[in-house]
């Protein structure tokens, strides 16, 4: 029986070794190698990064600070925001990094942030609308959480800061979208109301990401001639806290996938940084980008009538 046990142990070790080898092959074969390019000098330029205390936002803020920009981490938790700002200052030697409170799930908070920012900061060159949630309930304003945090809060924030972006032009707005916009369905008459059905949570997220793509498109149209340009970007499938809101039954499927195939935050930040800093992107304002550059979004993401209806509906919901 000792021989059988040893044999069983041998098979188990062999199996584990095989799995590890397979994991390594898959991980390095299916993921593109990170390619952090040289970034331009950003001294004298001011950037806001929403959700800048963790994930893609923190990685983006770190790189912008490294290039010399003044960076405002606009995030909900003061504890995490201050800690992230302090860490970025330490890592980059750039003392122009500060936290400012912003809760996108509250339109009141968005207005308060914009008012404080405009009073305290004379310049704005880069607005990175990055913060996002994948699921949740209803906000204090009565809208679905993903729709408000991912789209409506950012829409209001952009509108309130637009005059400052124009006066500091050339300036850019970068909206972190997702390829999940492919499954988005926006109905202007029920904008902001959570969808129903078995996959309502997933649908809600996809709808908000379609709104991101259309927001960039319509903003670019409206800002022609002002030197404010706008880009929607899919950062890739990134292993961030975005999935903490996923339904319990889905987590056992998502977590191994995330571990195996998803990018880390600094890799996901690269296409966002490309849209924020790469020279010569101005003629591509309003376009949708991935890590491979500009791509055609899915048909709904190219629907100009829907983009206009979303804009007008968003103005109404945000009280503009």
- pLDDT tens for 100-144 read 999 999 999 999 999 999 999 999 999 999 999 888 789 999 999
pLDDT category at 175 given cuts 50, 70, 90 is: very high
Half-sphere exposure of 234 (CA within 13 A, CB side): 24
- Rounded to the nearest integer, the mean pLDDT of the chain is 85
Instruction: Please write down the long-range contacts of 219-222, taking CB distance under 8 Å and 24 or more positions apart.
Output: 219/158, 219/173, 219/286, 220/285, 220/286, 220/287, 221/286, 221/304, 221/307, 222/311
- Give the residue-averaged pLDDT of 201-216: 93
Which of 1-10, 37-46, 238-247 is least confident?
238-247
Placement of tokens 């992230």 in the chain: 84
Which of 201-215, 254-268, 292-306 is least confident?
254-268
Is the distance from CB of 89 to CB of 302 less than 8 angstroms? no
Give bridge partners of residue 233 from the DSSP assignment: 176, 289
Q: State residue 159's pLDDT score.
A: 98
Residue 317 above 60 pLDDT? Answer: yes
Q: State residue 188's pLDDT score.
A: 86
pLDDT higher at 292 or 273: 273
pLDDT category at 179 given cuts 50, 70, 90 is: confident
Which of 136-150, 249-263, 269-283 is least confident?
249-263
pLDDT category at 214 given cuts 50, 70, 90 is: very high
CA dihedral 39, 43, 45, 47 (to 10 degrees): 60
pTM of the model: 0.82
pLDDT higher at 143 or 291: 143
**Is 231 among the catalytic positions?**
no
Q: State residue 162's pLDDT score.
A: 97
- Give the residue-averaged pLDDT of 163-176: 97
- Give the residue-averaged pLDDT of 133-159: 94
CATH number of 39-318: 3.40.50.720
Q: State residue 74's pLDDT score.
A: 98
- pLDDT tens for 3-42 read 655 555 556 556 554 555 554 455 455 555 555 667 888 9
Q: State residue 239's pLDDT score.
A: 47
Cα(135)–Cα(82) distance, rounded to whole angstroms? 26
- Give the residue-averaged pLDDT of 295-309: 92
């Amino acid at each position: 029986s000792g021989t059988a046990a040893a044999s069983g142990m041998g098979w188990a070790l062999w199996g584990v070794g095989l799995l590890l080898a397979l994991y390594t092959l898959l991980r390095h074969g299916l993921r593109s190698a990170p390619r952090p390019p040289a970034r331009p000098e950003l001294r004298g330029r001011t950037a806001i990064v929403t959700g800048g205390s963790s994930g893609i936002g923190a990685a983006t803020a770190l790189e912008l600070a490294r290039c010399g920009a003044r960076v405002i981490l606009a995030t909900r938790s003061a504890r995490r925001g201050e800690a992230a700002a302090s860490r970025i200052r330490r890592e980059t030697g750039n003392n122009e990094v500060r936290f400012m409170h912003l809760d996108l799930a509250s339109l009141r908070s968005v207005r308060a942030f914009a008012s404080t920012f405009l009073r305290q900061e004379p310049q704005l060159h880069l607005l990175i609308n990055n913060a996002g949630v994948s699921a949740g309930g209803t906000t204090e304003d009565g809208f679905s959480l993903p729709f408000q945090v991912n789209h409506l809060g950012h829409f209001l924030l952009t509108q309130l800061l637009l005059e400052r972006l124009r006066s500091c032009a050339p300036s850019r707005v970068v909206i972190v979208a997702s390829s999940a916009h492919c499954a988005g369905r926006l109905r202007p008459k029920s904008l902001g109301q959570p969808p129903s059905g078995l996959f309502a949570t997933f649908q809600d997220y996809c709808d908000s990401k379609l709104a991101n793509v259309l927001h960039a498109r319509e903003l670019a149209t409206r800002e022609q001639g002002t030197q404010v340009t706008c880009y929607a970007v899919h950062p890739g499938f990134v292993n961030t806290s975005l999935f903490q809101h996923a339904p319990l039954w889905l987590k056992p499927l998502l977590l191994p996938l995330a571990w195996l195939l998803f990018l880390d935050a600094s890799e996901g930040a690269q296409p966002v940084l490309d849209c924020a800093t790469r020279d010569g992107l101005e003629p591509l304002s309003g376009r949708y980008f991935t890590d491979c550059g500009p791509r055609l979004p899915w048909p709904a993401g190219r629907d100009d009538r829907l983009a206009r209806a979303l804009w007008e509906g968003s103005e109404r919901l945000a009280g503009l």
